[in-house]
Structure 1
Amino acid sequence: MTESLFGAPKIPLDNLSLIEKDAPNLILWAVPAMILFTAIEILITYFQEKPYYEKQETIGSVLVGLGSLAVGASLKFALLFAVVWLYNQLPWRMSLNWWTFIPCYVIFDLCSYWAHRISHEQRFWWATHVVHHSGERYNLSVSFRLSWIQNLKTIFFLPVALIGFHPIIFFTTNQVAVLFQFWVHTEYIRRMPRWVEYIFATPSNHRVHHGSQPKYIDKNYGATFIFWDRIFGTYQLEEEPPIYGITTNISNKANPLMINFHEVADIVRDVKGAKGLRKKLFYIFGSPIKVDEEKKRNAAERKISEVA
């Protein structure tokens, strides 16, 4: 079994077009279904007069999603080249077997947990993720809000590639993981059976993650499996209804450039105004919550000094 699994032949780098053709483009195939289900949810929301959608915010989500697809398509070949090149350097290359998808997915999801957690704990990485949390309504269109610079977080999935999974397995896993997260962004699915809520990142579990209340902030990072949060102490049960959005919500809700880069612009502005290297590094890599508290404290002190 070991001989048939490991020691797969190298993939010629001049043959990448064939690998690209063999790797299913699941996200692109799923787009029509995602649009259909989102449209159905919008119609149901409209006829039930529920406040789950807001026009400008939905426009922003769609535009961000289209941009994300374009960025992903433009980077696909470069990422494929990098993954295949790394695969070729490993002496323990795995051959293409369908069942290797299962361990690959579990390990990928563990890396996703930590990538997600660090994206909330360090402002530099938060700038690649805040776009997903900037919506003040919770609906299926929120799943479209993927940052145009989120591919910087590919570095967190390097351990998955280093294990030696075949590139087609690696990219298929990535796409399935992204698609899984579509259905959890809805108010219409409430609590699921207890065992499902215990294992998976369900809509209830993920609504908590998008909540801005202190008890909900930085909880339930799991993308597919919520048991990572139970293991690492970041799980929170959905209790009172979440209040969605970020601590300081953006004003221009339909502008995809504002949605994607407002935090980057804030970081640049804060670093320019900071005195000393330590403070500058704090504004780049500090906790987004602590940075926000610091800025609010500074603003309050300025108002007091102006009055005095």
Structure 2
Amino acid sequence: MTLLQSFFGAPQIPYENLTNITKDAPEIIVYAIPAMAFFTLLEIGYNWYHKHGNYKTKESIGSTLVGLGNVLINFLLKVALLYGVVFVYNTVPWRMEMSWWTFLPCYIIFDFCSYWAHRISHQKRFFWTTHCVHHSAENYNLTVSFRLSWIQNFKIIFFLPAALCGFHPIVFFVVSQVAVLFQFWVHTEYIGRLHPWIEYIFATPSNHRVHHGSQDKYLDKNYAATFIIWDRMFGTYQPEEERPIYGLTTKIGDRMDPLFLNFHEFGDMINDVKKAKGLRKKLFYIFGSPTAVYNEKLKAMDLENEKIQEDIAVEKEVSS
């Protein structure tokens, strides 16, 4: 056996052993809930004591309900997701043994995939429907990290390249959870800019605040989940300058209903498709850029207002 074969020649995982794999794959996010709750309550207390106004009760409750629903859905889908990862693992001939040192290369590749999944989620409206819930909060605090779509799991297709590398399913599963947990601490206004080298490499709170800004200069910037270096490489980096104005370009207020938060954009998309004339326009409202769709709807509203004003002017002339 060659050195390459010994490194990439791990045996297949029998599907009857999936139960054991499930037990061995730790629920890191579930274990981390007490710590996240502690730091969130600490931030709430600090915010209340200093009267900063970074929390709105209904909005924070909505974020928490969305987050709890997401944890439950991921827990229920754990076996199915693991089955898919095991299937890919068994298919490729370059399978790696279960070794924790492979965590780092797996994490880097996973984060690269995450950058593109995130970027596409902002550039194609169909995928934006699975992500806009995260941007709908108009106050920036730790509860915003809980706002993860209930229907985002089908975007696992963007992480297929990481799975095809042959990393052990448990390593892949742990990496995916740690990558989500990393994003918890960046959703705060109480951590300023860090050391320049840290800001250059990582998606820090400062870098991620930009991503949640609704100003033109901040839109579609800083997609990276952990390593901001991807944004620097692909031209989507923007440093934090003036304080971001948080929330969607079309504000929805401090909503609490998790169903509305998760599906309001999906409903809007369906309504736009129904009203659109012609296949090309319908496809535009499904797969067009959310920014382009927003501008198109503004243009249509302006034309409608102009028509209304013209009709009013005609009525006045007739009546006079």
TM over 0.5: yes
Q: CA deviation at 1:272?
A: 0.4
- Matched residues in 2 for 1:270 and 1:152: separation? 23
Deviations 1:143-183 (A, max 9, x none): 00000011021000000111111100100100000000000
| 2:252 maps to 1:254 | no
1:225 maps to 227
Among 208, 211, 216, which residue is 1:209 paired with? 211
Among 68, 71, 75, which residue is 2:70 paired with? 68
Matches within 5 A, 1:122-133: 122-133=124-135
Deviations 1:28-58 (A, max 9, x none): 0001100110001000000000011111100
Q: CA deviation at 1:252?
A: 5.9
Aligned residue pairs total: 308
Letter in 2 for 1:160: A
SS at match of 1:225: coil
Among 91, 94, 109, which residue is 1:92 paired with? 94
1:191 maps to 193
For structure 1, list consecutive stretches of 5 or more residues without a partner in the other structure. Answer: none
TM-score with structure 1 setting the length: 0.99
Letter in 1 for 2:266: V
After alignment, is 255-264 or 3-12 more displaced? Answer: 3-12
Matches within 5 A, 1:145-294: 145-251=147-253, 253-294=255-296
- Matched residues in 2 for 1:307 and 1:199: separation? 53
Q: CA deviation at 1:3?
A: 3.2
RMSD: 0.8
Q: CA deviation at 1:59?
A: 0.7
Q: CA deviation at 1:4?
A: 3.0
Deviations 1:249-281 (A, max 9, x none): 124610101100000000000000000000000
SS at match of 1:74: helix
- Matched residues in 1 for 2:142 and 2:6: separation? 42
| 2:106 maps to 1:108 | no
- Matched residues in 1 for 2:227 and 2:265: separation? 29
Among 137, 158, 165, which residue is 1:135 paired with? 137
Among 66, 82, 85, which residue is 2:84 paired with? 82
Q: What is the aligned-residue identity percentage?
A: 63
- Matched residues in 1 for 2:4 and 2:52: separation? 56
2:44 maps to 42
Q: In structure 2, do the counterparts of structure 1 residues 116 and 161 end up closer, same or farther at CA, with 3 Å as the change threshold?
A: same
- Matched residues in 2 for 1:247 and 1:215: separation? 13
Letter in 2 for 1:8: A
8 A Cα contact 2:98 2:171, kept in partner: yes
